Each structure stands twice: as C-alpha cells, then as structure tokens.
Structure 1
Amino acid sequence: MEPSGFVLEHNQRLSRSLLWSCQRAFYERQGVEAWRRGLLPSFITSNPVIGRAYAQVVLGWMRDWCAASSWESGQPFHLIELGAGSGRFAFHFLEAFRRLHARSRLRDVPFRYVMTDLPERNLEFWLSHPLLQPFLDEGLLDVARFDAEHDEQLVLRRGGTVLAPGTVANPLAVVANYFFDSIPQDAFSVQDGVLHECLVSVSSPAPRPEVEAEDFLEQAAVSFEDHEVRGACYGDAELDGILEDYRERLGDATFLFPSTALRCLRRLQRLSGGRLLLLSGDKGHASQDELSDRSSGVSLVRHGGAFSLMVNYDAIGRYFRLRDGQVLRPIHRHVSLHVGAFLLGQPPDGYGETELAYEEAIERSGPDDYATLLGRMEQHHEEMTLEELLALLRWSGWDSGLLMAIFPSLLPRAEAASEPLRQEVCWAIQQVWEADYPIGGEQDDLAYHLGMLLYVMERPAEALTFFDLSLRQYGEAPGTYYNQGMCHVRLQQDARARECFERALTLDEDFSQAREMLTHLQSGE
C-alpha cells in the first residue's frame, strides 16, 4: 500500500523506524505525568494482587538457588525491574516480598530491588517518594537508569554499586511488565512457506512535522508492506534460527518479532552469569498456536503520544530454550494479561519451588484471572451486600482503585450497617489507605472518599483526619470544608464548624447547604 500525504519514511524495518524516536520522546517528556494523566494503561500490572503473586514466585526461585548453597553468602540477590514507570508495581511487590521474606527461612539472605527506566525524571520521582523512602533507607531498594537498547551495566544511584558482567555474585531476577510492548520490534509474515518482512512507511499531512511532538502519532499515517526475505535478516544465529523455524512451522500468519527484547535479555544473561529469572506480564502471544491464529497485519495500539505492540512471548520462550532454559506459562489462554516465567541456569535440585509458586500464584488464580473477574464484578457491585464488597476488597489486597470503583455501593451499605460491620469497614479503610501508592494528581481523591465513609458511619473525628489529608493533597474545595464543618457539628465544636462553613462559602458563595448550616449555628438553634 502506497503511503498518502507527505512521506517521512518508506519501507523501513520496523525496529529502525522514526516511530521509536517519537516513542522515546514521549516517555522522556511525560515522565510520571503519563500515568497521572491516564495516558498509559497500568492498573492490571500495578496492583497488590500482581505484586503479591510475583513476590511468591521470586521467593520460590530464591529457595531453589539457596537450597544447596548455590549462592554467595553475604551478597544480595538483585531483583531488577525494567521500565518501572510510576513505581506503583515496585511498591506493591516490595510490601509483599518483605513480609514473605521476613517470615521464611531465607530471612537472612539479603536482597536488593532495583527500579530502572529511561527518563531521568522518573528516577528523581522514585527517590523522593515518601512511601519508597523506608526501602531506600534500609538498602532494600535502589534505582538506576537503563536503556534496553544499549546498556550493558547498571549504576545504582543510592549505593553507587555498578552491576556489570562478572560483578554480580548471585542469580538475577528481572521483572518486565508492559515493557517489551513499548520497545523496538520487527514484523514478519509467512506466506506459502516464504518469509516476508513487513516494512513500515510513515506519512504526515504536513511536510515537515515535529516528529517528537505529542500529537505526531495522532496525525501520522502508518502502513506496512510485505517484502520477501532473501538471506539472513540479522546475521545473528539465534535470532535468524527462530525466524527460520517460524518459516518452516508457522503456516500463513503475520507476527511481531522482539529483536530488541532478545538482545536486551542476552545482555542481562551476561550480567547474571547465566542464572536468570524473567517474570513478564503483557498482552501478547504465548505459543505458536496463538501466532498461527493471526492472519491480519500489524496494528499499533495508540496511547496519547505513545503506542504499544503485542509481545511475542513464544519467540522469547524459544530463545530461552535455545540456551537450555525453561519456560513456565499458564495452560489456559490469557484473557487480559499473559504472565510468563523464563529461567536460565540450573540449581542443583532443579526449579521445584519456582514451579510450585508459579502454579499457585500465577496459573491457578493469578493476575489475569483477577483482572478478568474484577472487570465483571465492577459492573455488578450494586447487587452485592456489604459483606461481599468487603470480601472483594480483601481479595484485591485492599486495592484503592477497586474501592473507588465500588464506592457508590459501599457508601450507603456502610451507613446502614450494624456496629460490628462498621468496625470491619473501618479496618478496611485503614488497610486500603496503607496499601495505596499515590503518584499525585490522581483524578480520584481517595482521602476524601474514605472521609465520607467514616462520616456516614458516625466517626467524625476519624473522618476529619482524611478530610485534612484531602485538602493537603488536592487543595481547597468547598465540599471538603463543608464536610469538615459537619464533622465539627457532630463533635459539638461550633466555632470550628463556623470557620469551615465560612470558608466553603468564600470558595462558593452559592453553596446553599453551607449557608443554611452557618445560619443555623449563628442563630444558636
């Protein structure tokens, strides 16, 4: 297909396309704002359930390596997260892993979690986040800038340690959620047993567009054209071998090829001394059968000024097997999120603990099942009792996003509840607050909503604490001052109540309820 408009590039290999310059510029420009503004999907890979599930698998993997003293005592196990973004997954993982680790027989085995990303401003955000400070201060967490396309080593910002090939004493765990879908890939198709490369063309309605501008992708036209492959594509025996295997076995299909991800994993394998665990969750294809179902072309999923592609986990699995590795994946097809575990190296007694943890935490009832069922439950929460809503919150690991979704049903049920059930709601409120990882500027004001729950359950003093937090985090709002005033009325603190109602009226002179309450207090009735 011939591109329309002004052609910016024509029949280019996808991984070399200018689209990736646009992608890099988006992440560098936005930093954490991309998550604050909701431009990027993140809930499914950044909630307490997935944090707990990954923590269980990593601990099982550490047990396998420590079972026969196959590790260097006194040196930490490093757990590296690629593309840590807002830091929300890291927080949930560390909260779960620290608890599990402290209660296990590995409590004396040191570990260090390393958050990495490309934008420098993301690192600065993590280093200043109050909920990450305890982990940083204890030496359980550090951060590093990492470019998946080029970097061979990591320089840890807080500790100054350099993780380079030959310096990492113990096996290495790597987490990559919603990461491989956002770094350069290539595209191919097989037609009648012949391999073709899908080359990309990009055009624009303007002759000289600013490629790194935020709205470039919205205006650009992207098209693909198949060209027969003659000879080796990469001059890399492993990558070319996987492609040749697809040509022979796949049948007619179009597929993405994670060339950059595979090269990145090769560098991380060198860093780990050949002892590597990769845990990765994303939308993608986990098997040859899933790839064979694809006969349509390549499609980009656009997220504001960025985009993502499906991840070919089958190719990643083939790469690990070529290096005598193992692949753990669910037997069933995923609905929302595929989570795979990929293993290199061989502890003396095998990976029994890793496999068991993966089966329990990922395959039987894992992040994909949680996301799938949660979507359904969020549509029907109005039919649930208070006990059922509380059970849902417990199941979620006290996820604040879930609480906000079910709040319209939770509020009236909490107000009508018996005192014993109200006490359970109060405990749930505290758990949700402690499990929340704010990134600033969220659309939903969690503190305000928790204050409302406490107010309707006749706990005005506790509600005031959360309304104060709401004012500090989100600024002045007439509704918040009004609610504070009502709390003070219930506490018989009339002078404080008048101050709150007056402030509400200063912000909104048409606030009739605040005016009525102020008149009532001034009249002394």
Structure 2
Amino acid sequence: MEPTRFVLEHNQRLSSSLLWGCQRAFYERQGIEAWRQGHIPNFITSNPVIGRAYAQVVLGWMRDWCGASRGEPGQPFYLIELGAGAGRFAFHFLEAFRRLHARSQLRDVAFRYVMTDLSERNLEFWLSHPPLQPFLEEGLLDVARFDAEHDEQLVLRRAGTVLAPGTVANPLAVVANYFFDSIAQDAFTLRDGVLHECLVSVSSPRPAPEVEAADLLAQATVSFEDREVRGAYYGDAELDSILEDYQERLGDTTFLFPSTALRCLRRLQRLSGDRLLLLSADKGHASEDELTDRSSGVSLVRHAGAFSLMVNYDAIGRYFRLRDGYVLRPIHRHVSLHVGAFLLGQPPGGHGETELAYEDAIERSGPDDYSLLLKRMEQHHEEMTLEELLAILRWSGWDSGLLMTVFSPLLAHAEDASEPMRQEVCWAIQQVWEADYPIGGEQDDLACHLGMLLYVMERPEEALVFFDHSLRRYGEEPATYYNQGMCHVDLRQDARALECFERALALDADFSQAREMLSKLQSGE
C-alpha cells in the first residue's frame, strides 16, 4: 500500500513555489556548515585555477575602462561576488588579482572586492576568518548582505559605504559562480509552437511541515504539469520578448527561464550606471542549440536540504544583447562548467583587453578544461613520476585538494628523490600551504600530510612546524604526536620524544608503534 502523501502546493508557478522558501531557509540555517559538511559542491568553482582566470579577465576589463585615464579619481572599482559561500573563491581570486594588479600599469587604481550572501552567519564567518584578514585590513575586501530577489543596494559592513544607484563612480564587476542555479526560476515547454508554463506541485509525508524544516526537501515529492500560456507572461517587456523569441525559434522542448536572475541583473545594472561585467560559472545551457530537443522535463538536483537547476545562459545573453551588451562564451561545448562573460557599456577603446584576457584564461584552457583533465589524471596519478606530479601541482596553482589526491605517490617518490628534487618538493609544500583556504571540518589533515612529506625527506625540524600546525588546526591526534616523537628522535631530543609518545598512548592505549618507540627510548636503545 502506497504511504499517504499530503499536498503542500498544487500547480504553482515555479518561481513562486515554496521550494525556494525551503532553499533560503536551508542556507540561512546552515551558513558555513553547508560547505564544511560537504553538502554543496564547490571545488570546480573555488580553486586557484578559476581564481587566476577571473583575475586576468577582470584586470583586462579594468584596462579597457581606464584607457588613458585611471578611472574616477579617489574612487575604487567594486568587484561584487554574489553568494560567496565559504569564501574560497574570493580568497583565490584576491591572491591572484593582488599580484597581477600590483605588477600592472593600473597599480595605482583602487579596487575593493565585496563578498555577499543571504546568510548573516556567512558574513560573520568571513569577517573573523584568518585567511581573509590581510585583505580586510588592507581595505581590499569588504562584505555585505545581499538578497538577489529584492535588494537595490549594498551596505559595506567595514567601510560603512552604501552602494546605490548614482553613488558608484566606476564600472562594476559581478561574479556569480554556482549562484543562478540556486535562485528562483521558471520553466516552460514548447509543443507545436505553443508555449506552456510548467506548474509545480509538492507533496510531503507530513500534512503541514514548516518551510524551515531541515528534511522537507529531502522528503518532498515534486511533479510538474503543463498549462498553456496566454498573453504576456511576465508583463515585463524585456523578459516577455525573450520568451516570444523562444516561441518563434525553438522546436518542441522544455527549458528553464532565469526570471529572478534577470531582475537581479537589472538592479545591478542600475547600480553600475549601465557599465557592468558579469562573470558567471555554472552548469547550464549557453546557446539556442543546447535548449533544443530537451524533452525530459524539469530536473531538480538535490544537495541535502538544498537543490539546484541548470542555468539558461542563453537567456542571460539575450538580455544583455537587448541592452546593447556583449557576450563572451567558449566556442567549444563545455563538459561540466560553462564560464561566460557578459558586458554592458562601451569603454573608450572597446572591449579588446577583456576579449584577449577571456580568450587566454577561459577559452583556451579554462576551468572546465582543467576540471575535465584533472579527473582523467587522477585515475593515473599512481603511474606519474615526481616531475609530473610537481608539474600538475604547479598547473593547479598549488591546490591543496590536488596534493591530497596525489599524496601517496608523491610521498613514495619524495623519500627516494635526489637532493635537488627534494628541494623542489619543499618549495611545493610551502606554496600549497600558503594557497590553502581551510574552513574547518575538512576530513584531510593537510598540515600533518605536509609534515610527513618533510619527515621522509629527512627534514625533521621543518616537519615539526607542520605537525604543530596540525595540532592547532585539527586538535590532538595520537598519530600526530607519534610523528612529532619520531622527528625528535631524529634530532636526538629524547626527552621531547618521550613526551610525544606518552601523549600518543594517552590518547590511544593500543597504539603499538608508539608503545614500541617509548620502550626503546626508556631502555636506552
């Protein structure tokens, strides 16, 4: 017998569904924990490679707008990230952009990066998170709460500055990675040239659960039913014209429509005085061809208490072109991540520098290519030489996640490496450590692993530094104390070694290796 299910809503417009209230409640309730617990996928949009690529494009865009001048004197260029989440992308972007900016002809042109999110808990985390403190203290970073569905302005928490229409002197750059897929959209089906809206119904095993209930989305059943659209759907000339164009040009298909994203971009456009760069990466459809013949309906991808949808980047591009804007997208079809640049306004000499930077950083070898090739290499890293492992670490921008993936072969090679190659590994260790952005709750203890690498290369003093980092960051672990003890043995610091092995056994009485080393030290072996 089928269990009873209770209808929570029936045939509702998708963008008005209670699903989005559940989504907002999840992010506000979870805050940074959504990323700490691994609920929200983010590696592909939050690594050093994509941070460096965006930094190149933004600097090219600033060159276009500055031209012979240096922007509005005394006023910064604002770079706003929507839905900054854990802050990892912002960290990698700022690390790369600060270096590029300082070495460019625009070194005297001020900029300020603004991380935004819906959750106050995320803002509090950023303001106190150690890796972001240097940027905050230098005035290169600020934070603001921003609701993409409603807000017309941003209030910067540290500076107190209000960014509102008419107050932003220079053009505005906006970053939206894995963002438009998580805010309200609508869905439509075309059959024989007739447009239908896809209306959503939601049911639950409980009669009236709270929208804020943590398990509502996980328990909910979502279904769709088509209803013919008559007349102007939105009563909004620009949005309706895009829909009408689809009705004329597309065959039978089902497509999503980013109504909330377009309205949000309209408000940001007013904020920027019609001078805007949008850089956005997500899973989505970038062209009319990709929207054609999609008859499988609407599919929600669930992430614990949240969900995501594909992004219709073609519609976003059409909106920019209606405003006499310009769109940059890869010529080739993306595999898992589309990265597009959308431009409004005309710089003095055109968008040449932006186009060149986009072609070099995104088109030729962008984040989607990096992700695709990395997955392939991860299947064969056990076969790689030390030189090859170091090469992919350099290519990754010293990504700590990649180092953890290739740690086993790296450790084996490092132990047997020549001294010049060991020095290369030591350099790599330092670069990975400096490029790491911990958020707490990570399963992999990066510091301990780096210490192990240094230990097998006969550098016990340097290894001890990282084992100390491990204890501070990840707490007391018997293995870390044991590793410290072995370093002290190599340094002939027997008293310190005894303390470490005793502490390891206090935490784990069955730790046989620590007991053996303790016995050897006590017997004077």
Q: TM-score, normalised by structure 1?
A: 0.99
Question: Which residue number corresponds to residue 416 of structure 1?
Answer: 416
- Residue aligning to 1:375: 375
Q: 1:325: which partner in 2?
A: 325
Q: Contact (CA 8 Å) 1:51, 1:93: kept in 2 or not?
A: yes
Deviations 1:94-126, CA, capped at 9 Å, x for gaps:
010000000000001110100000000101111
In 2: Cα distance, 1:14 partner to 1:212 partner: 19
How do residues 47-126 of structure 1 correspond to structure 2 at under 5 angstroms?
47-69=47-69, 71-126=71-126
Query: Structure 1 stretches (4+) deviating beyond 6 angstroms?
Result: none
**Corresponding residue of 2:232:** 232
Structure 1 position 253, deviation (Å): 0.6
Residues 376, 297 of structure 1: alpha-carbon distance in 2 compared, 3 angstrom cutoff: same
Question: For residues 452-506 of structure 1, what are the alpha-carbon distances to aligned partners after superposition, in whole Å with 9 as ceiling and x for unaligned?
Answer: 1111111111111111111111111111111110000000000000011111111
Residue 335 (1) aligns with residue 335 (2): yes
| Letter in structure 1 aligned against 2:374 | L
Counterpart of 2:358 in structure 1 is 358
Matched, 1:451 2:465: no
Paired AA for residue 129 in structure 1: H
Equivalent AA in structure 2 for residue 177 of structure 1: N
Paired residues of 1:68 and 1:349 also in contact (CA < 8 A): no
Contact 1:58 / 1:173 at 8 angstroms: preserved in 2?
yes
- Is the CA contact 2:81–2:116 (under 8 Å) kept in the aligned structure 1? yes
Deviation, 1:217, is 1.2
Which amino acid letter does the alignment assign opposite residue 391 of structure 1? A
Deviation at 1:134, TM superposition (A): 1.1
| 1:151 maps to 2:154 | no
Supply the distance in 2 between the matched residues of 1:70 and 1:471 (Cα, whole angstroms).
47
Q: Can you list the C-alpha shifts for 1:286-330, whole angstroms capped at 9, x where unaligned? A: 000000041110000000000000000000000000000000000
User: Displacement of 1:216 after TM fit?
Assistant: 1.2
**1:164 matched residue in structure 2:** 164
SS of equivalent to 2:398: coil
Q: Distance in 1 between matches of 2:298 and 2:82?
A: 25
Is 1:196 the counterpart of 2:196? The answer is: yes
**Partner of residue 402, structure 1:** 402
Identical columns (%): 86
* In 2, Cα distance between equivalents of 1:488 and 1:470: 16
Distance of 2:213 and 2:376 partners within structure 1 = 37
Q: Deviations over 1:165-196 (max 9, x none)?
A: 00000000000000000000000011100000
- 2:472 corresponds in structure 1 to 472
> For the Cα contact (< 8 Å) 1:4–1:221, is it kept in 2?
no
- 1:4–1:203 contact (8 Å) kept in structure 2: no
Q: Does 1:442 align with 2:475?
A: no
- Inter-partner Cα distance in structure 1 for 2:183 and 2:119: 14
CA contact (8 A) 1:22 1:212 kept: yes
Aligned counterparts of 2:409 and 2:294: Cα–Cα separation in 1: 41
2:305 matches 1:305: yes
Summarize deviations over 1:11-32 as a string: whole Å, max 9, x none.
Answer: 0000100001100010001111
Shift of 1:210: 3.0
Which amino acid is the alignment partner of residue 490 of structure 1?
D
TM superposition shift of 1:213: 1.6
Aligned-pair CA distance for 1:238: 0.3
Query: Does the CA contact (< 8 Å) of 2:251 and 2:293 recur in 1?
Result: no
Deviation at residue 374 of structure 1 after TM alignment:
0.5
DSSP-derived class of the 1:150 partner: coil
Amino acid paired to 2:479: G
Inter-partner Cα distance in structure 1 for 2:211 and 2:21: 8
In structure 1, give the amino acid aligned to 2:145.
R
Q: Structure 2: which 5+ runs fail to align?
A: none
Q: Please tell me the residue identity of whatever aligns with 1:423.
A: Q
- Structure 1 distance, partners of 2:506, 2:116, is 46
1:134 counterpart = 2:134: yes
Distance apart, 1:362 and its partner CA? 0.2
DSSP-derived class of the 2:486 partner: helix
Match of 1:7, SS state, is strand
Opposite residue 86 of structure 2, the aligned amino acid is S
Deviations 1:241-289 (A, max 9, x none): 0000000101101000000000000000000000000000000000000
Local SS of the residue matching 1:78? strand
Alpha-carbon displacement from aligned partner over 1:20-67 (angstroms, at most 9, x marks no partner): 110001000111111110000010000000000000000000000011
Matched residue SS, 1:170:
coil
1:197-228: CA deviation from partner (whole Å, max 9, x where unpaired): 00000001121223322211111000001110
Cα distance, 1:366–1:75 mapped onto 2, change above 3 Å: same
Q: How many residues align?
A: 523
Equivalent residue, structure 2, for 1:31:
31
Moved more, 214-223 or 321-330: 214-223
**Partner AA of 1:219 in structure 2:** Q
Corresponding residue for 1:211? 211
Instruction: Tell me what 1:268 maps to.
Output: 268
Alpha-carbon distance, 1:4 to partner = 7.5
Runs (5+) with no aligned partner, structure 1: none
> 3-state SS of the aligned residue for 2:130?
coil
CA contact (8 A) 2:252 2:293 kept: no
Give me the whole-angstrom Cα distance separating, in 2, the residues matched to 1:164 and 1:208: 40
Contact 1:70 1:347 in 2 (8 A): no
- Contact residue 429 and residue 450 of structure 1 kept, 8 A: yes
The DSSP-based 3-state class of the residue aligned with 2:10 is: strand
Deviation string, structure 1 residues 343-369 (Cα, Å, up to 9, x no partner) = 000012100000000000000001010
Q: Tell me the secondary structure at the aligned position of residue 72 of structure 2.
A: coil
Q: CA deviation at 1:70?
A: 7.8
CA distance in 2 between counterparts of 1:324 and 1:428 reads: 46
Equivalent residue letter for 2:501: F
State how far apart, in whole Å, the 1-side matches of 2:83 and 2:293 are: 30
Q: Measure the CA separation in 2 of the matches of 1:470 and 1:389.
A: 24
CA distance in 1, matches of 2:437, 2:377: 23
Report what 1:501 is aligned to.
Answer: 501
- Amino acid aligned to 1:46: S
How large is the RMSD of aligned CA atoms in angstroms? 1.0
Q: Secondary structure at the match of 2:96?
A: helix
Q: Distance in 2 between matches of 1:517 and 1:253?
A: 69
Amino acid at match of 1:396: S
Q: Per-residue displacement from partner, 1:127-167 (whole Å, max 9, x unpaired)? A: 10111111111111110000000000000000000000000
Structure-2-length-normalised TM-score:
0.99
The amino acid across from 2:30 in the alignment is Q
